[in-house]
């Protein structure tokens, strides 16, 4: 500590941190590092039975907050959107799981395979993979299936232009543009006359 630094003011001894989960267990409030409310996430609006949603909200609460891995509001929103997509996927299954204990490795594998090979698809998989072990009641087999490494996608098949090719493309575009510009100016002059 430097000579001129002051210690942070501590809350009174009677202070208790507010509960981030409402009484129903479906709304999670994320508090910021300054103590204010960063965001609220309503799991009651997501598809699925209440028992499953309460467990999902509890898992989310274990990740989101000022002293947790998901500190920033933007990270929490990304996590919530990925979880919402996961729950929509579970609700669309032939036999949707009624509780967290009924989320099987097969349901996880179907979710993982349903994700497109894009940045957002990969993000959804990684976020749900981080969140799933924190959901109370999820079977250990499902957690270990989710913990398996996600392989990288295929390398892009197209390559960028070489410098010479790029210069040729630029020169052709400039010629085409210049020809069109000359024609437009000539037509405008013709119309003016």
pLDDT tens digit sequence for 148-179: 886 666 676 777 888 899 899 999 999 999 99
Q: Global pTM?
A: 0.71
Query: Integer distance in angstroms from the first to the last C-alpha of the chain?
Result: 80
Structural domain for 79, as ranges: 27-147
Are 173 and 139 part of one and the same domain? no
Q: Per the domain annotation, does 20 fall within a domain?
A: no
Same domain, 107 and 174: no
Do 112 and 170 lie in one domain? The reply is no
Looking at the fold, whether 126 and 181 belong to one and the same domain comes out as no
The closest alpha carbon to 111, from 79, 135, 133, 87, belongs to: 87
Same domain? 43 vs 129:
yes
What's the confidence (pLDDT) of residue 154? 67
Percent of the chain with pLDDT over 70: 93
Burial of 81 (0-12, 13-18, 19+ CB in 10 A): middle
Q: Check the CA dihedral 121-84-133-61 and report its sign.
A: positive
Whether 142 and 165 share a structural domain: no
* DSSP-based three-state secondary structure for 63: coil
The per-residue pLDDT for 153 is 64
User: Cα(79)–Cα(29) distance, rounded to whole angstroms?
Assistant: 14
Please list, residue by residue across 85-116, b when 16 or more beta carbons sit within 10 angstroms of its beta carbon and e when fewer do.
bbbebbeeeeebbeebbbbbeebbeebbeebe
Q: Provide the number of structural domains found in the chain.
A: 2
Q: Are residues 168 and 108 in the same domain?
A: no
Looking at the structure, do residues 175 and 90 belong to the same domain, yes or no? no
Percentage of the residues of the chain whose pLDDT score is greater than 90? 61
Do 137 and 174 sit in the same domain of this protein?
no
């Amino acid at each position: 500590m430097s000579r001129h630094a002051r210690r942070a003011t501590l809350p009174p001894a009677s202070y208790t941190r507010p509960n981030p989960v409402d009484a129903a267990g479906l709304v999670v409030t994320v508090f910021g590092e300054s103590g204010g409310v960063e965001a609220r996430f309503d799991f009651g609006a997501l598809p699925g039975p209440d028992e499953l949603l309460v467990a999902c909200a509890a898992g989310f609460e274990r990740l989101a907050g000022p002293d947790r891995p998901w500190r920033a509001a933007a990270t929490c929103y990304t996590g919530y959107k990925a979880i919402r997509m996961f729950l929509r996927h579970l609700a669309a299954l032939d036999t949707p799981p009624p509780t967290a204990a009924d989320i099987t490795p097969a349901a996880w594998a179907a979710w993982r395979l349903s994700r497109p090979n894009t940045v957002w698809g990969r993000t959804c998989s990684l976020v749900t993979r981080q969140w799933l072990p924190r959901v109370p009641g999820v079977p250990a087999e499902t957690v270990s299936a989710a913990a398996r490494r996600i392989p990288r996608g295929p390398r892009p098949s197209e390559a960028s232009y070489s410098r010479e090719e790029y210069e040729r493309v630029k020169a052709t575009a400039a010629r085409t543009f210049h020809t069109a510009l000359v024609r437009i100016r000539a037509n405008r002059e013709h119309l003016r006359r």
